[in-house]
Structure 1
Amino acid sequence: MSSVYERELKGIFEGDEKTLSKITKTCSALEKGNYYLTQGKPFIVVRAAGSFGVDLVALRGDISFLMEIKSSNTDTLHFSSVDGKLQRQAEKMQRECEKTRTLPVYGFRLKGHGGDSWRLFTMEIQKLEGRAKILQNRLPKLALSKSGNFIMRWEDGLPLSDFLVYLCK
């Protein structure tokens, strides 16, 4: 099912008219306008096949980042679930991004939510530079549980429409 949301987010970042029209039907006029900014500054987005936690690679001349996509009917995602598989994937992604100085972005799609149903997060990565570092500072970080596992709370994320304003204005 997450492949549906991978394709959705891919279409948004590429500025695809059909995707934008469909996804913004329940958005406010402001959110809709923000989504459509991607048509003026689109990304090349590649769906990544692999199991280490990267679903999309977004590339543009001024910025690139790796994206992991999660979706849920509930507003909180505990990475300790699924026998810790999500936590292991996140830790591996963090190590790879540290090593390559690449920005990781987590997209969380809340199913059944009207309006802007996407929220974005990142994680702590050392030694990022330039726009990637600025972008990392603007994005909320994944929360940590008392036992050190990542948690994504939809309400704590940055709305995708706000992220797009920063990227595309």
Structure 2
Amino acid sequence: MTNDNNKNENEKNNKLLDHDFDGIKEYDNPTPIWFQILFYGTIIFSAIYLFYYHIYKNGHPLKDEYLASVGQNNTNANNGSGDFNYAQNITNKEMIELGKQAYATNCASCHGLKGEGGVGPNLTDNYWIVDNTYSAVEKVIDIGVPEKGMPGWKTILGDKKVKALVIYIASIQGTNPPNPKKPEGKEGKLH
């Protein structure tokens, strides 16, 4: 009997709304406090997020976080200080090793395990399809040669690994691996 009394009291306290649809009536109950706190909390959070990440740019942009998580960054390989100097880094064993790993993983399938050429050109001779400068080779690695099937590697490898690849290619110049592909392009030493 107590439950029936409570039910009657609740019905008296709740106000019915005026509209009626197919015999269904609706009570005018207030929104629970926990839901209001959650709702207004998300609005406050989104405002803080907007100012922090998009207006003041103090936060880490998602692209930078992604590149950092996969071991790439947008700074130059020489710690962000101006243009990269290949002449100073040509004997840098750490850069050569990094380039060798990147080459074995991404380039060897087309250019051969030792740079002797295959689908792609021979990288150990002194003949170049592109200009024989470090910057020209870096540009080809960055943007690729889509008409010949070479993809651009900059977004995949990042600046540091691309520069390391150029140094590695310079380090294998003149190594004369077995079964090299015939020379293509203009003759000239990489510089």
TM-score in same-fold range (> 0.5): no
- Given the two structures, how large is their TM-score scaled by the length of structure 1? 0.26
Q: Which has the higher helix share?
A: 2
Q: Which has the higher strand share?
A: 1
